[in-house]
Amino acid sequence: MEITQLTLVNYKNFESQSFDFPTKVNCFIGANGIGKTNTLDAIYHLCYGKGYFNPIATQNIRHGEDFFMLEGSFQKDGKTEKIVCSLKKGNKKLIKRNGKTYERLSDHIGLLPLVIISPADRDLILSGSELRRKFVDGVISQLDKVYLSTLINYNKVLTQRNSLLKYFAANHTFDADSIAVYNQQLVGYGEQIHQKRQEFLEAFIPIFQEQYRIISGDQESVSLRYQSQLEAVSFADLLEQQLTKDRALQYTSAGIHKDDLEFKIGEHRIKKFGSQGQQKSFLIALKLAQYYFTKDQTQDTPILLLDDIFDKLDENRVSQLISLVDTDDFGQVFITDTHDQRTETIVSQIHRDYQIHRLGNET
Ligand SMILES: Nc1ncnc2c1ncn2[C@@H]1O[C@H](COP(=O)(O)OP(=O)(O)OP(=O)(O)O)[C@@H](O)[C@H]1O
């Protein structure tokens, strides 16, 4: 799968800009803040229906404007897919595929596989469990529409149950039957999600460990483990056990929305005890595992976005990544960098056609 053309209108710092991508390897070069990462984000947005860096959709609209529009031409299975994504302030975001608007944005998920490796990934290690769940959910949802709709349904019921708990507290009342209805729905959706996450991680973890082994040169061992409250107790029993607490807290304190991934180096948490280099290697291994897993499952070659890798990685890791990209396993790759000459030197070693897009005053 490849993108051959991209147009951005009022997207972040771009007023109006078009790019053609005739080659497999494309580099965006320019000074800090010129919009290199924003260009990658535009490609990500067309594939995932949302930006990678800013979850607040309206903040992607160029300051002072009231809409953005992204347009991309993709080649997939020998056909052209024209995707338009637009957002006008006060309206819902629209995504069109070949002129037809999706009824639900989630219907677009999975059509165009893509993996991004960015310095922002460090939040997967450093921040709370929500981002790690999102990572797992994002990978599975790209491949499994039933999973995505089960997740959407689970979150809807969770919101309703939380509203009910708030209502009970505000009105000093309680109705066990209404809670039981929500519990039953949560358990139905939650157990399916738990099982899918388990199956996914069983397949994903060995791929991740292999990638880490390659990147680190077999220096140390790392582990990734799925943690869920549902390991020890059934979801129905868990909700029952937590009910008094939930009523006091006025929200649902247990369930698959509390799942996490444990990242360890040797016996210790990588967040506390991993060096910066080990943390970076861990994240790259995670993303490369996502790449190989998605490629295997979709039988399609995802687009790979490499944001700021030369600046943020040491020479060994860069050459490791570049030599990987130079294999037939990889398809279209986008790279951002501030240094013209450095990029040219590195990509000219790749045995593939490349193009350098210099960003400057035209934005
Ligand atoms: N909604 C917006 N409207 C206008 N400008 C925006 C908007 N959102 C972000 N920007 C601008 O985009 C620029 C950042 O662009 P980007 O992150 O793509 O830079 P970059 O070229 O990747 O830089 P670096 O080399 O520092 O990583 C900043 O100048 C920021 O102010």
Tell me, which fold does domain 126-299 have in CATH?
A: Glutathione S-transferase Yfyf (Class Pi); Chain A, domain 2 (1.20.1050)
Domain ranges for the chain, please list them.
Answer: 1-113+301-363, 126-299
Burial group, residue 210, by CB count within 10 angstroms (0-12, 13-18, 19+): middle
Tell me which of 166-180, 206-220, 242-256 is least confident: 206-220
The answer on pLDDT for 41 being more than 80 is yes
Q: How far apart are the first and last CA of the chain?
A: 27
Residue 345, pLDDT score: 85
pLDDT, tens digit, 9 for 90 and up, residues 5-20: 999 999 999 999 999 9
Q: What is the mean pLDDT of residues 41-51?
A: 97
36 is in an annotated binding site: yes
**Which residue is closest in CA terms to ligand 1's atom 19?**
33
pLDDT band at 149 (very low <50, low <70, confident <90, very high): very high
| The pairing of beta strand 25-29 with beta strand 67-76 | unpaired
State the residue for tokens 């056909």: 79
CB of 99 closer than 6 angstroms to any ligand 1 atom:
no
Average pLDDT over residues 262-267: 95
Q: Above 50 in pLDDT, residue 363?
A: no
Report the percentage of the chain scoring pLDDT > 90: 83
From residue 182, give the alpha-carbon distance in Å to each of 42, 185, 195, 213, 246.
Answer: 39, 5, 20, 45, 13
Mean pLDDT within 33-38 = 96
Nearest CA to ligand 1 atom 27: 32
Instruction: Say whether pLDDT at 157 is over 90.
Output: yes
pTM for this entry: 0.94
Centre of ligand 1 from the C-alpha of residue 38, in Å: 6
- Residue owning tokens 């147009």: 7
Cα(11) to ligand 1 centroid in Å equals 10
Give 109-172 as a DSSP string: TTSS-EEEE-GGGGHHHHS-HHHHHHHHHHHHHHH-HHHHHHHHHHHHHHHHHHHHHHHHHHHT
Which CATH fold would you assign to the domain 1-113+301-363?
Rossmann fold (3.40.50)
The DSSP string of 26-54 is EEEE-STTSSHHHHHHHHHHHHHSS-SS-
In this structure, the residue with its CA closest to atom 11 of ligand 1 is 13
Pick the residue whose CA is nearest to atom 7 on ligand 1: 12
Tell me: is residue 93 an annotated ligand-binding position: no
Nearest to 293 by CA among 186, 210, 189, 172: 210
Distance CA 40, CA 14 (A): 12
Reported confidence tier of residue 219, pLDDT bands at 50, 70, 90: confident
Does ipTM top 0.95? yes
Exposure of 131 in the CB half-sphere (CA atoms within 13 A): 12
For 118-145, how does the pLDDT look when each residue is reduced to its tens digit (9 = 90+)?
A: 999 999 999 999 999 999 999 999 999 9
Q: How far is CA 241 from the centre of its chain?
A: 34
**What pLDDT, on the 0 to 100 scale, is given for residue 340?**
87
> Span 81-96, mean pLDDT?
97
* Average pLDDT, rounded, for the chain: 94
Q: What is the pLDDT of residue 362?
A: 52
Arithmetic mean of pLDDT, 73-82: 97
34 is in an annotated binding site: yes
Tell me if 344 sits within 8 A of 356, measured CB to CB: yes
Strand, helix or coil for residue 323: helix
Does 30 belong to an annotated binding site?
A: yes
- Summarised one tens digit per residue, pLDDT across range 295-350 is 999 999 999 999 988 776 677 777 777 887 888 888 999 999 998 888 888 888 88
Crossing angle of helices 176-216 and 276-298, rounded to 10°:
110
